[in-house]
Amino acid sequence: MQTSTSAASPGLRERKKQRTRQAIIEAALGLYQERGYEGVTVAEIARRADVAPRTFFGYFESKEDVFLGPGDDHLERVIRAIRERQRGVPILTAVRRELLRRDQPRREAAGSTRPHLAELLRQPAVQNRLRERWNRWEDELATVIAADVGAAPRDPEPRVIAALVTAAIRIASESAAARESGREAVAARVFELIASGLANYGGSA
């Protein structure tokens, strides 16, 4: 019996963490609807979620991250696609397949709606936070790619691939935010351009 209880403990802890994370998100969204973005503070979010401010920072690095959503989940999916692809499959092929998959439904309560990215991008703090994310993701991807192919840390190829992948994610997200097109459609166009080669882009026919 003791073994069964111990085995169940990680699942119970994970569910508790998910409930706490969800309470923080719900508190932030409620405050946003009442006060707008500028009226929301980490202290107020923590108070409404009934957690300590330090608990908030155990789940999110900043207020902006609550509203931007689980972007790191996408990065983890891309890294997993690189690491788990069959040998002989090019990195960009594996990443393209992953990015063109439709996102899994968010595990949020019914009726919970994050502000649209286009709305959030009116806030300079959100724009700055997104740039920080892109830069960090590019660095992490470059490190993963270099390790995967056995390249030296300063070799340019892993950084070029990482920059292309990060750009594809960013452009697709921004186009979807501007409601110009769906994320998957834009990502497909970006990878088609990469695959066809950039040397002749913009040249005369």
Q: What are the CB-based long-range contacts (under 8 Å, 24+) for 137-142?
A: 137/75, 137/166, 137/169, 138/162, 138/163, 138/166, 140/75, 140/79, 141/75, 141/78, 141/79, 141/82, 141/165, 141/166
Q: Each residue of 105-151: pLDDT tens digit?
A: 444 444 456 777 778 888 899 889 988 988 999 999 999 999 999 99
Q: Tell me the CA distances in angstroms from 200 to 53, 191, 193, 196, one per residue in order.
A: 53, 16, 11, 9
Structural contact between residues 100 and 184, judged by C-beta atoms closer than 8 angstroms: yes
Give the chain's domains with CATH numbers.
Answer: 2-60 (1.10.10.60), 68-196 (1.10.357.10)
- CB count within 10 Å of CB 61 equals 14
pLDDT of residue 176: 65
Q: How far apart are CA 89 and CA 111, in angstroms?
A: 41
pLDDT of residue 1: 47
Structural contact between residues 69 and 152, judged by C-beta atoms closer than 8 angstroms: no
pLDDT of residue 72: 73
Residues of the chain with pLDDT under 50: 1, 103-111
